[in-house]
């Protein structure tokens, strides 16, 4: 069994490396147009955002509507680091991510004892505070935004951080701590009775999610030159939530598939701007009514799912938890 | 001192509108435990209905408000029947996401149908200015209108909820749906009535908002809706006096922050108060703490 897992992991790693070099070659040869490159970046950013939100909302069951706030903190801290302080990209990215993670702890520790709707509204309020404060700080450009950020995020960094996010969060979920988080989602009181420190795990999930939202923000800032407070408004938080919900709350592969699908669809329907949002919103309602668990539910798209009959040698941990 | 009084007066009139929206919000929340994000959009549609009634059919003020109420009630009940009712048994997360979806749908539908431009809301009734303290403090007749309408409607609502049979049914359903239906209460109808009343209040608030700011646009409902929800949480969600008091409090705080500090800091300040209240006393200023039951 373990040998099989190792083999599978090696196969995935090899496929990823091949994919990386293929795209790298494509960019260098000019086969991938700048428009497609932008969408590659957006896909990466959306995957990071959706997977990290999924850790909070999907796996730990805490509805957070403030993901854009953490993204904004990551983007602005990283942007200030490179533009104003002249630091290298990696350091700036880590600083942004840590700042976002720290804010996650700061916000999460007092608010995570709130239930469902109240937490949603508190996190939504937090994101609005971040946006409002950024508008009022002239040092970072106020409402006009921070401009002149160098485009330091290459395909290499994008790829590395996207893969790193997915792998780290997946491993976290499959660890003892991840199990505890899932227990909190399934039944908080029962989890507490079994000795799970629910507050600790909720804050932990929140901090990790915020950290990676910060990573996404830093990548976004260092690809698009400009960041504005209004980019990180409520709409952005909703966007991420839509992706996570479409993919299935509690499914990492679902989030990845949905992030790719939604980003590509957004690019394809760009000319429809408002109509596109109408379609999204209707889809959101229809999905919630007809398939509230989203595309994948809490299952993962594993190789077993496609090539073997389900249920016999399911290596994935997620399939067992959805009883 | 006169400036302070002026700010308080401005706060009260803005707060009246928040209170009116918050009353509808809090009723809906009280009965189905759902943050109806689409509430602000119901308000927007009502305002547009009044706008078209006035501009296209020369309706007078009272008729315009009635038309706005009718449009909002139909929309509110439709949303409840189509989007929320099928989800009554599913998780609260699913319903909340549906509410966000309904809000986005109406916002963007509004942008699609009405266009993104700001439109001038017709000044259908005369606006007089009353001056006090040698002209340093002024109150407009719009402000008086807004305040008195809110007061009358809040008292009316309190009467409906506390003294009528429908109100009794609402309170029963909000307490325990299953037990209520065992007692012969039609839960679906009661929930629809609640949505209808809440939407009608939103429509009135929308028309007053359009009149007060002399403008309307498809995204006009979202922020006031959100603020009204904050007001409802502030006062204690599910409580009519709470929503009323919370609305006024929020309006006054906003007016004071914009008047003495900066209007750019108004929204962050309000949201900070929200988070503070949620942390310190999640049941709101007038709410009672409830023990968690297993």
Q: Look at chain B and report how many structural domains it folds into.
A: 1
Interface subset of B 70-89, CB within 8 angstroms of A: 83, 86-87
The pLDDT of residue A311: 45
For testing contact with chain B, the best of A292, A293, A294 (most B CBs within 10 A):
A292
Is B189 part of any domain? yes
Which residues in A162-194 are b (16+ Cβ under 10 Å) and which e? bbebbebbbebbeeebbbbbbbbbeebeebeee
**Please, which residues have CB within 8 angstroms of residue A167's CB and are 6 or more apart in sequence?**
none
C-alpha separations of B276 from A96, A199, B117, B230, B287 in Å: 25, 19, 36, 11, 15
Flag whether pLDDT at A323 surpasses 70. Answer: no
CB within 8 Å: B265 and A111: no
Q: Nearest CA to CA, how far is B86 from chain A (Å)? A: 7
Structural domains of chain A sorted by starting position, each given as residue range(s) with its CATH number in brackets: 39-321 (1.10.3470)
The mean pLDDT of A273-280, rounded to a whole number, is 84
**Please, which residues have CB within 8 angstroms of residue B128's CB and are 6 or more apart in sequence?**
B140, B141
Query: The tokens of A152 are what?
Result: 């330091």
CA distance A66 to A128: 8
The pLDDT of residue A317: 41
Sign of CA pseudo-dihedral B118, B119, B123, B124? negative
**B194 in Cβ contact with B31 (< 8 Å):** yes
CATH number of the domain enclosing B120: 1.10.3470
The pLDDT of residue A166: 94
The pLDDT of residue A134: 92
CB within 8 Å: B105 and A285: yes
ipTM given for this complex = 0.84
Query: The tokens of A92 are what?
Result: 């700036």
Cα-based angle B107, B111, B115 (whole degrees, multiple of 5) = 155
C-alpha separations of B211 from A313, B14, B207, B219 in Å: 66, 12, 6, 16
The pLDDT of residue A320: 39
For testing contact with chain A, the best of B278, B283, B290, B293 (most A CBs within 10 A):
B278
CA distance B80 to B76: 6
Is B159 part of any domain? yes
pLDDT tens digit sequence for B183-234: 999 999 999 999 999 999 999 999 999 998 889 999 998 889 989 988 998 8
Flag whether pLDDT at A37 surpasses 70. Answer: yes
* Residue of chain B whose alpha carbon sits nearest to that of A131: B268
Q: How confident is the model at residue A120 (pLDDT cuts 50, 70, 90)?
A: confident
pLDDT tens digit sequence for B136-192: 788 888 899 999 999 999 999 999 999 999 999 999 998 888 899 999 999 999 999
Q: How confident is the model at residue A313 (pLDDT cuts 50, 70, 90)?
A: very low
pLDDT tens digit sequence for B254-266: 999 988 888 888 8
**A166 in Cβ contact with A256 (< 8 Å):** yes
Structural domain of residue B210, as residue ranges?
Answer: 2-280
CA distance A258 to A266: 12
Is B143 part of any domain? yes
Please tell me if residue A118 touches chain B, with a CB cutoff of 8 Å. Answer: yes
Flag whether pLDDT at A93 surpasses 70. Answer: yes
Helix, strand and coil percent figures for chain A, each rounded to 5: 75, 0, 20
CB within 8 Å: B268 and A136: yes
Q: Nearest CA to CA, how far is A112 from chain B (Å)? A: 9
The pLDDT of residue A306: 58
The pLDDT of residue B290: 61
pLDDT tens digit sequence for B39-52: 999 999 999 999 99
Residue found under tokens 């006393």: B281
The pLDDT of residue A298: 77
Q: How confident is the model at residue A304 (pLDDT cuts 50, 70, 90)?
A: low
Q: How confident is the model at residue A129 (pLDDT cuts 50, 70, 90)?
A: very high
Mutual angle of helices B39-57 and B92-114, in 10-degree steps: 20
Q: Nearest CA to CA, how far is B273 from chain A (Å)? A: 9
Q: How confident is the model at residue A310 (pLDDT cuts 50, 70, 90)?
A: very low
The pLDDT of residue A268: 86
Is B214 part of any domain? yes
Is B211 part of any domain? yes
Is B99 part of any domain? yes
Query: Residue ranges of the alpha helices (H) in chain B?
Result: 2-32, 39-57, 61-79, 92-114, 141-163, 165-175, 177-182, 187-213, 222-235, 240-260, 266-280
CA distance A128 to B258: 17
Query: The tokens of A61 are what?
Result: 């069951």
Per the prediction, chain A carries an average pLDDT of 86
Q: What is the dihedral of CA B187, B189, B194, B195, to 10 degrees?
A: 120
The mean pLDDT of A101-117, rounded to a whole number, is 85
pLDDT tens digit sequence for A191-226: 989 988 988 999 999 999 999 999 999 999 999 989
Is B77 part of any domain? yes
Flag whether pLDDT at A172 surpasses 80. Answer: yes
The pLDDT of residue A308: 54
Is B147 part of any domain? yes
Query: The tokens of A103 are what?
Result: 């804010």
The pLDDT of residue B133: 76
The pLDDT of residue B77: 95
Q: Which of A161, A151, A154, A153 is closest to A24 using CA atoms?
A: A154
């Amino acid at each position: 069994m373990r040998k099989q897992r190792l083999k599978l992991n090696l196969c995935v790693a090899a496929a990823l490396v091949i994919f990386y070099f293929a795209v790298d070659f494509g960019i260098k040869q000019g086969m991938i147009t700048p428009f497609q490159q932008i969408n590659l970046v957006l896909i990466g950013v959306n995957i990071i955002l959706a997977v990290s939100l999924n850790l909070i909302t999907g796996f730990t069951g805490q509805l957070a509507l403030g993901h854009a706030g953490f993204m904004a903190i990551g983007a602005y801290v990283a942007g200030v680091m490179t533009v104003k302080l002249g630091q290298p990209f990696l350091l700036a990215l880590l600083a942004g991510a840590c700042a976002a993670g720290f804010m996650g702890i700061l916000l999460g520790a007092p608010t995570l004892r709130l239930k469902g709707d109240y937490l949603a509204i508190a996190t939504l309020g937090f994101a609005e505070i971040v946006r409002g404060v950024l508008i009022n700080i002239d040092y970072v450009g106020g409402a006009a935004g921070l401009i002149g950020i160098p485009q330091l995020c290459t395909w290499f960094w994008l790829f590395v951080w996207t893969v790193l996010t997915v792998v780290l969060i997946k491993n976290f979920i499959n660890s003892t701590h991840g199990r505890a988080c899932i227990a909190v989602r399934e039944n908080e009181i029962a989890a507490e009775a079994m000795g799970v420190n629910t507050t600790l795990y909720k804050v932990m999930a929140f901090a990790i999610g915020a950290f990676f939202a910060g990573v996404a923000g830093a990548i976004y800032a260092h690809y698009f030159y400009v960041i504005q407070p209004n980019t990180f408004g409520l709409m952005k938080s909703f966007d991420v939530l839509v992706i996570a919900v479409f993919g299935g709350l509690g499914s990492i592969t679902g989030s990845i598939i949905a992030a790719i699908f939604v980003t590509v669809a957004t690019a394809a329907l760009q000319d429809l701007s408002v109509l596109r949002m109408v379609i999204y919103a209707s889809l959101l309602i229809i999905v919630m009514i007809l398939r509230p668990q989203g595309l994948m539910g809490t299952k993962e798209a594993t190789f077993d799912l496609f090539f073997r009959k389900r249920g016999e040698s399911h290596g994935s941990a997620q399939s067992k938890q959805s009883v | 001192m006169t400036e302070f009084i002026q700010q308080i007066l401005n706060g009260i009139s803005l707060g009246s509108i928040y209170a009116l929206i918050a009353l509808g919000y809090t009723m809906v929340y009280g009965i189905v435990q759902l943050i109806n994000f689409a509430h602000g959009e119901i308000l927007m549609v009502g305002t547009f209905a009044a706008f078209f009634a006035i501009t296209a059919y020369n309706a007078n003020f009272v008729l315009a408000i009635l038309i706005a109420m009718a449009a909002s009630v139909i929309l509110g009940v439709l949303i409840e029947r189509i989007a929320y009712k099928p989800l009554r048994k599913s998780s609260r997360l699913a319903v909340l996401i549906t509410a966000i979806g309904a809000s986005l749908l109406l916002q963007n539908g509004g942008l699609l149908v009405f266009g993104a431009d700001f439109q001038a809301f017709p000044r259908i009734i005369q606006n007089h200015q009353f001056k006090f303290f040698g002209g340093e403090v002024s109150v407009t007749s719009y402000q008086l209108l807004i305040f008195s309408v809110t007061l009358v409607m809040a008292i009316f609502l309190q009467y409906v909820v506390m003294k009528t049979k429908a109100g009794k049914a609402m309170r029963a359903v909000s307490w325990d749906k299953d037990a209520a239906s065992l007692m012969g209460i039609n839960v679906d109808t009661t929930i629809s009535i609640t949505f209808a009343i809440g939407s009608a209040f939103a429509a009135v608030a929308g028309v007053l908002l359009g009149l007060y700011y002399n403008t309307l646009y498809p995204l006009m409902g979202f922020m006031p809706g959100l603020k009204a929800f904050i007001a409802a949480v502030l006062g204690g969600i599910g409580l009519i006096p709470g929503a009323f008091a919370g609305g006024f409090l929020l309006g006054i705080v906003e007016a004071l922050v914009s008047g003495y500090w900066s209007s750019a800091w108004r929204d962050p300040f309000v949201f900070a108060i929200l988070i503070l209240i949620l942390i310190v006393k999640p049941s709101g200023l007038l709410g009672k703490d409830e023990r968690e039951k297993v």
